[in-house]
């Protein structure tokens, strides 16, 4: 029986920079009413996810932020239950240097996502993207304790030992839920780790379909499939 469903946010539950549709929000609430715990696992910080989950109207959402670096229970701010999953002091020092180096390169004009752990700059132009990519390419030794993801509108610098699979396993242990009772839903490369952990992996326009058990063209179709899956397990 599936007890935990973990969703990516951007391009899975919502388009970049946009909220969920009222129809899909209702479907998400229906999944929670069916008995599953609902978690959001995103590159965004948990405080950002709080607003999103308040809009969704879930009763007990779990928020996994910064690609698995932090976990928060509920949507209260400041949070009453908040966990940081990395203790790597070297990675913390390198992340500070990465922030300072990029900030200096752009003379304080680069916008960084306000994270608790990771460093996420948002380049505005292709030239800005190229400058950060050149920094990554020239500093591979420095960045050896980090993982770097390049996205459509940003970069993520994340401590090694932190990803969505590790966070999902940590969360499942906290909830006394097994991987056989877990579903992961996502769209991108940084979702592949949690696909590996979950018993059932569901993609929304995943390019490499070998990474998922099922792949759908829309969020609505994926949510309908999940509702039917939960319904069938109670019959």
- What's the rounded mean pLDDT across residues 152-158? 94
- pLDDT, position 87: 85
Distance of CA 232 to the CA centre of its chain: 28
**What is the per-residue pLDDT across 114-130, written as a single tens digit (0 to 9) for each?**
999 999 999 999 999 99
CATH number of the domain encompassing residue 41: 3.40.50.1000
What is the tally of structural domains in the chain?
2
Whether 31 and 69 map to the same domain: the answer is yes
Same domain for 194 and 217, yes or no, is: yes
User: Rounded to the nearest 10 degrees, how much is the dihedral formed by the CA atoms of 15, 69, 158, 178?
Assistant: -80
Q: Does residue 80 sit in the same domain as residue 25? A: yes
Neighbouring residues of 56: CB distance < 8 A, sequence distance ≥ 6? 20, 25, 28, 29
**Which one of 132, 159, 186 terminates a domain?**
159
**Are 149 and 206 members of one domain?**
no
Give the chain's mean pLDDT: 94
What percentage of residues in the chain have a pLDDT greater than 70? 99
pLDDT of 142 reads 98
The answer on pLDDT for 18 being more than 80 is no
pLDDT(148) > 90? yes
Query: 134, 159, 184: which is the final residue of a domain?
Result: 159
Taking the C-alpha atoms of residue 195 and residue 202, their distance in angstroms, rounded to an integer, is 8
Residue 126 CB neighbour total at 10 angstroms = 8
Give the bridge partners for 112, in sequence order. Answer: 121
Specify the CATH number for the domain of residue 102.
Answer: 3.30.70
Residues 74 and 187 in one domain: yes
pLDDT at 235 over 70: no
pLDDT tens digit sequence for 55-96: 899 999 999 999 999 999 999 999 989 999 988 999 999 999
Contact, 32 vs 59, CB < 8 A?
Answer: yes
Q: Are residues 112 and 143 in the same domain?
A: yes
**Burial letters 144-164, b for 16+ CB under 10 A, else e:** ebbbbbebeebbbbbbeebbb
Q: Of 102, 129, 159, which residue sits at a domain end?
A: 159
pLDDT tens digit sequence for 180-233: 999 999 998 889 999 999 999 999 999 999 999 999 999 999 999 999 999 998
47/78 same-domain check: yes
Asked which of 13-27, 94-108, 120-134, 207-221 is least confident by mean pLDDT, the reply is 13-27
Indicate if 95 and 74 belong to the same structural domain: no
Whether the full predicted model's pTM is greater than 0.95, yes or no, is: no
Same domain, 99 and 141: yes
**Same domain for 115 and 136?**
yes
| Residue numbers of the domain that contains 109 | 89-159
- Does residue 155 share a domain with residue 44? no
């Amino acid at each position: 029986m599936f007890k935990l469903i973990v969703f990516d946010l951007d391009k899975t539950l919502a388009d970049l920079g946009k909220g969920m549709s009222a129809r899909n929000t209702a479907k998400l609430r229906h999944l929670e009413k069916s008995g599953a715990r609902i978690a959001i696992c995103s590159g965004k910080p948990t405080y950002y996810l709080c607003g999103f989950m308040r809009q969704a109207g879930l009763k007990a959402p779990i928020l996994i932020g910064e690609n698995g670096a932090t976990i928060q229970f509920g949507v209260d701010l400041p949070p009453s239950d908040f966990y940081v999953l990395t203790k790597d002091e070297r990675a913390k020092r390198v992340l500070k240097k990465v922030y300072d180096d990029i900030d200096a390169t752009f003379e304080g004009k680069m916008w960084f996502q306000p994270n608790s752990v990771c460093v996420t700059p948002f380049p505005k132009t292709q030239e800005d993207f190229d400058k950060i990519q050149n920094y990554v390419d020239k500093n591979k030794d420095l960045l050896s304790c980090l993982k770097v993801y390049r996205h459509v509108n940003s970069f993520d610098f994340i401590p090694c030992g932190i990803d969505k699979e590790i966070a999902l396993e940590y969360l499942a242990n906290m909830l006394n839920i097994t991987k056989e009772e877990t579903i992961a839903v996502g769209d991108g490369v940084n979702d592949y780790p949690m696909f590996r952990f979950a018993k059932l992996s569901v993609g929304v326009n995943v390019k490499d379909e070998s990474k998922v058990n099922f792949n759908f063209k829309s969020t609505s179709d994926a949510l309908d499939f999940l509702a039917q899956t939960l319904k069938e397990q109670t019959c």
